[in-house]
Amino acid sequence: MNENLQQLRSNEEKFHGIDSQFLTEGLRLVLLLPTFSLLSFFGAWAYKGESPSWWLDNIEPAVGFDLSTAFTLISTTILFGFCVGLYLHRYRVKLTRQVFRWEVEEAANSHRPVTSMHGFSSVDGLISRTMASHNTALWMSVTATIISLIVAYLDSDSKLGGRGLLASASLVTIAIGQHLSTRNRKFNMVTDDGLLAAYTPPIHPSTLNMAYTDMMRNLMDPLLRSKFDDFLNEFESNTKKGVHKEFGWEKFLMLMHRRFKGGIDRSTTSIELAEILTSKGVKLILEHEVFKEELWDSLFASSNRSNPAFYRLIERLEQDLAIGKKADLDGLLFDVDLENVVTEKANLFCYIHNLSGDERQVVLRVNSPDFRPNDLALRYNLEPGEKSWWADEAVPLSSEGDDDVIGRMSGLLRDGTITWQTLLPERTGEASVSVRLENINGDLLVGRQINVRVQPEFVTWLRNTSSITSYLLGGIGLFGAIIFQLMALLASA
């Protein structure tokens, strides 16, 4: 690795540690300090012109200034710490942007053009916008500190000092709102999953070709996705002869998901991997430089939060397979799931699998007055599976060969059809979705009615509301301070 890149990474790691423990997370000084400074401003306003007797008799003779000035000096000191905190946070983000762009350039030199991937412009734009927001917040806080320092040297009874306090407090309030507007999407380049929260997939496949692989690839930011493609190439080069590569990928990702959920231990994982990989490949994959167990845990945790319906659907199929449940339809497997609580969008997943030896066609219809699109019809041509993966008797979780839950599920996901449809809510509150599976003549094969609750995401809503409120209050206060000052100048002219 280039020495300059190593130095940048080392610096980012140091400042990220300070940032996460003291500034934006942990103690959250970037929020606590301006809050305390505003309280001090209110104290300066409250005692403006006349100090209480305990201050006049005991403290003012020694320090030489009134209580209002003392509060102003306290606020100025706190604001100085606020400026330092914003600067350190901004510097950390700057280091992150430098590392990001350096890695993008390195990927291009390695013939992995990240810039042409879906989502690159959104990630790069988010980092740039965040830097601009931090610059604005920093300059506002510096200006507020200078104004506060000037006010501290003015007479506490002066009208100019009062307008200065109003302007300084307003700038601090706007700076808080500016900072809050960047907290919905946190990112860093210290960890391999540091850009996941900053990445919003622009599109997703409507039909999953390889369920786990497509889910993971859709979740990953462009940099991590390029590394994932390299990882799959390494995986394929170490696959045993006779093992279909897509079957091997899906089985591996299913193993990682089961290990993440606590269903299997590392020993069982190694045994199952030995069925599809060479001994060298098992060691290479389990001890991979980038895709370590911690990264897989982070990826599956993020994917579970984003698409809980998909994993509930998979787990239900695994449970039915483990207990030997018979298929509800003759020669056809069908299941559907949708998250119980919908925020920005609803992710509807349907699984269809042809158990017969003949090709058949079905129509999937989705109807709902509460979501867009209100009416959706999709026609699927279901090829017969290569072998019968479904069993009418209990299946062990893990055993030699593919006659276990893990092996059979890998085959079911490869030969079956999983649809992924995004439904956009039109209102909040209770909502329903009707799902019908029909033959091409319109005859109903199976139908499901799903009831969900649509509501805003609370943390995001709270941050956005707090940010807008800070902008509004700060803007009104700053506008008022400017108007009062202009009126004073016109009156004295």
Residue 344 lies in a domain: yes
pLDDT digits 0-9 by tens, 148-172: 999 988 876 788 888 999 999 999 9
Whole-number Å distance between alpha carbons of 234 and 331: 38
What letters, b where the CB count within 10 A reaches 16 and e where it falls short, cover 305-324? Answer: eebbbbbbbbeebbebbbee
**If we measure between CA atoms, which residue out of 368, 398, 391 comes closest to residue 264?**
398
Whole-number Å distance between alpha carbons of 62 and 47: 18
Residue 196 lies in a domain: no
Q: Do 427 and 294 lie in a common domain?
A: no
Q: Do 341 and 416 lie in a common domain?
A: yes
DSSP state of 376: E
Q: Do 125 and 228 lie in a common domain?
A: no
Number of domains in the chain: 3
Residue 228 lies in a domain: yes
Query: What percentage of residues in the chain have a pLDDT greater than 90?
Result: 55
Alpha-carbon separation of residue 193 from 189, 204, 208 (angstroms)? 8, 20, 23
AA identity, residue 364: L
pLDDT digits 0-9 by tens, 247-258: 888 889 989 998
Kindly state the tokens that stand for 478: 């700053």
Q: Do 85 and 144 lie in a common domain?
A: yes
Q: Quick one: pLDDT at residue 14?
A: 95
Residue 317 lies in a domain: no
Q: Do 409 and 390 lie in a common domain?
A: yes
Q: Do 406 and 487 lie in a common domain?
A: no
AA identity, residue 133: S
Whole-number Å distance between alpha carbons of 475 and 349: 45
Q: Do 151 and 48 lie in a common domain?
A: yes
Q: Do 239 and 223 lie in a common domain?
A: yes
Q: Do 22 and 171 lie in a common domain?
A: yes
Residue 195 lies in a domain: no
Q: Do 228 and 182 lie in a common domain?
A: no
Query: What percentage of residues in the chain have a pLDDT greater than 70?
Result: 98
Q: How confident is the model at residue 323 (pLDDT cuts 50, 70, 90)?
A: confident
Residue 312 lies in a domain: no
Angle between helices 120-152 and 29-46 (to 10 degrees): 30
Q: Quick one: pLDDT at residue 327?
A: 77
Angle between helices 67-109 and 120-152 (to 10 degrees): 160
Using the structure block, give the residue that is written with the tokens 């079911």.
412
Q: How confident is the model at residue 387 (pLDDT cuts 50, 70, 90)?
A: low
State the CATH number of the domain containing residue 392. 2.60.40.10
Structural domain harbouring 257: 201-306
- What is the average per-residue pLDDT within 377-401? 79
Whole-number Å distance between alpha carbons of 342 and 450: 12
Residue 445 lies in a domain: yes
Q: Do 446 and 482 lie in a common domain?
A: no
Which of 35-49, 153-167, 277-291 has the least mean pLDDT? 153-167
**If we measure between CA atoms, which residue out of 364, 378, 369, 377 comes closest to residue 448?**
364
Q: Do 295 and 339 lie in a common domain?
A: no
Whole-number Å distance between alpha carbons of 286 and 291: 8
Q: What contacts 225, CB < 8 A, 6 or more positions away?
A: 117, 217
- What is the average per-residue pLDDT within 280-302? 92
Residue 8 lies in a domain: yes
More confident residue, 364 or 322: 364
Dump the DSSP string for 303-357.
Answer: HHHH-HHHHHHHHHHHHHHHHTPPPSBTTEEEEEEE-SEESS-EEEEEEEEE-SS
Angle at 227 between CA 224 and CA 232, to 5 degrees: 125
Q: Quick one: pLDDT at residue 156?
A: 64
Whole-number Å distance between alpha carbons of 292 and 338: 30
- From the number of C-beta atoms within 10 Å of its C-beta (0-12, 13-18, 19+), residue 486 rates as exposed
